Amino acid sequence: MTVATAILADIGGTNARFALLVDTEPRLITTYAVADYPSPLEAARAYLDGPAAGYQPQTAVMAAAGPVVSGRVTMTNATWVVDAEQLRSGLALRSARVVNDFEALGWALPGFRPQDLAVIGRAVPAASATMAVMGPGTGFGLAALASDGDAEVVLVTEAGHATLASENAREDAIIQEMRAQHPHVSIERALSGPGLIELYKAVAAVDQRTVPPRDSAEIVAQALAGSCATSRATLDAFCAFLGSVAGNAALTLGALGGIFIAGGIVPRFIDFVRASAFRQRFEEKGRLTPYLASVPTAVIVHPEPAFVGLARLARREIMAATR
């Protein structure tokens, strides 16, 4: 019987990805459709009986999209409940831990190598400083990792539901158009996959253009191809808003170690972001502009960033259990 130290999982509304922590690295990464299994326990059993057959993990560390309450996540975009105690007992493990998906990304931040990041700007991070990760995806998430040199902690937030702010008259008009549909225009109303569509509609209304319906992938593709002025204006607005939100996060959290962009949207147009107003809007905070000029920003391009954090967290859990 081969021994693996931990079973890891990154669980979203559509897919659940499992891996084994063997020695120090995630191995045997496998994807399962959430709709094919009644619970994460059955999916985990299928993984351990299939690709991971012959391994005997001692612990589980799993990330799920949603707030963690008493060791469990009731997912908003799936019928699954991810419960640490059910996983521990059902898989006969010594321990199990469930974390928010952005908490996993927070733990990943110190583990990224230079090739895992596409840097936006030229700033150099302060040593041992707070770092934050934020991401437009299905929604918008934000977490921060802070350290006092000896101990680390990840702060998980619901920043995506904070109010989206404008910085000029055009953005006032865009938000006003969005407010006609959504009384509270949150950050993720614009900075997410669905939000990109809302932003596209609002930009078209402000510019008094009649445009065809497009999904988020089509908006990005049209913008990059230069074949739709409204798609281009939408992506320009998206990057500007993203820069302002990132700068606000850096100020609020004192994140001198950097702001890192996660999620599946922004990696598709990194060169566009570099040429956009993102970095200018990130830095332009009045008297605190020099403060932010030294803070790095980067897009995470690692193909499996959650597993970097889950593996790091699992190693910490195992070390703590052996003390």
CATH number at residue 181: 3.40.367.20
CA 206 to chain centre: 30
Q: Above pLDDT 70, what percent of the chain? A: 97
Note whether 88 and 121 are same-domain residues: no
Q: Could you tell me if 101 and 107 are in contact, meaning their C-beta atoms sit under 8 angstroms apart?
A: no
Q: 82 and 220 share a domain?
A: no
Residue 259 lies in a domain: yes
Rounded to an integer, the average pLDDT of 208-235 is 97
N-term to C-term CA, the chain: 25
249 and 208 part of one domain: yes
Do 88 and 136 share a domain, yes or no?
A: no
> Is residue 315 a part of any domain in this protein?
no
Query: 19-23, 132-136, 230-234: which has the minimum mean pLDDT?
Result: 19-23
Contact 57, 92 (CB under 8 A): no
CB atoms within 10 A of CB 12: 18
255 vs 3, 21, 164, 247, 295, CA distance in Å?
Answer: 39, 30, 20, 10, 8
CB contact at 8 A, 224 and 272: yes
Please check whether residue 26 is in contact with residue 304, taking contact to mean a CB–CB distance below 8 angstroms.
yes
Q: Which residue has the higher pLDDT, 231 or 322?
A: 231
Q: Look at residue 67 in the predicted model and tell me its pLDDT.
A: 86
Residue 20 sits in the same domain as residue 70: yes
Note whether 291 and 267 are same-domain residues.
yes
Q: Is residue 129 part of a domain?
A: yes
**What predicted TM-score, i.e. pTM, was given to this entire model?**
0.92
- CA dihedral sign, ordered 310, 311, 313, 317: positive
Inter-residue contact 178 to 198 (CB < 8 Å): yes
Question: Lowest-confidence range among 6-20, 68-82, 193-207, 289-303?
Answer: 68-82
Q: Over 80: is that where the pLDDT of 127 sits?
A: no
| Average pLDDT value over all residues in the chain | 93
| DSSP letter assigned to residue 92 | T
At residue 78, what is the residue type?
A: A
Percentage of the chain beyond pLDDT 90 is: 84
List, for residues 151-163, the tens digit of each pLDDT value.
899 999 999 999 9
Q: Are residues 167 and 282 in the same domain?
A: yes
pLDDT in tens, 302-311: 999 999 999 9
Asked if residue 84 and residue 123 are part of one domain, the reply reads no
Question: Is 320 inside a domain boundary?
Answer: no
Ranges of beta strands (E only) in the chain are: 6-11, 15-22, 25-33, 59-64, 72-74, 81-83, 95-100, 117-120, 131-136, 140-147, 152-156, 258-261, 297-300
Average pLDDT over residues 249-255: 96
Tell me which residue range forms the domain holding 79.
6-100
Note the maximum CA span of the chain: 67
Give yes or no for residue 321 having a pLDDT over 70. Answer: no
- The number of beta carbons lying within 10 Å of the beta carbon of residue 116 is 17
Q: Decide if 73 contacts 34 (C-beta within 8 A).
A: no
> Residue 26 above 60 pLDDT?
yes
Taking the C-alpha atoms of residue 303 and residue 245, their distance in angstroms, rounded to an integer, is 24
Q: Are residues 197 and 233 in the same domain?
A: yes
As a whole number, mean pLDDT of residues 6-32 equals 93
Tokens 């020099």 correspond to 290
Number of domains in the chain: 2
Confidence of residue 3 (pLDDT cuts 50, 70, 90): low
Query: What's the CA gap between 9 and 45, in Å, rounded?
Result: 12
What integer pLDDT is reported at residue 1 of this predicted model?
A: 46
State both tokens at 24: 């120090």
On whether both 267 and 166 belong to a single domain, the answer is: yes
The pLDDT of residue 46: 97
Identity (one letter) of the amino acid at 22?
V
pLDDT over 50 at 323, yes or no = yes
Question: How far is residue 112's CA from residue 237's CA, in Å, rounded to a whole number?
Answer: 29
Q: Is residue 194 situated within a structural domain?
A: yes
pLDDT at 218: 98
Tell me if 279 is assigned to some domain. Answer: yes
Written as six digits, the tokens of 35 are 């709709």
d(CA 314, CA 203): 45
pLDDT over threshold 50, residue 47: yes
Asked whether residue 310 is domain-assigned, the answer is: no
- pLDDT given for residue 2 in this prediction: 56
Residue 6's pLDDT band (cuts 50, 70, 90): very high
Same domain, 136 and 223: yes
Q: pLDDT digit string (tens) for 64-121?
A: 988 899 999 998 767 899 999 999 999 999 999 999 999 999 999 999 999 999 999 8
> Which CATH number fits the domain that encloses residue 96?
3.30.420.40
Is the Cβ–Cβ distance between 281 and 247 less than 8 Å?
yes
Residues 56, 141: one domain?
no
Whether 23 has a pLDDT exceeding 90, the answer reads no
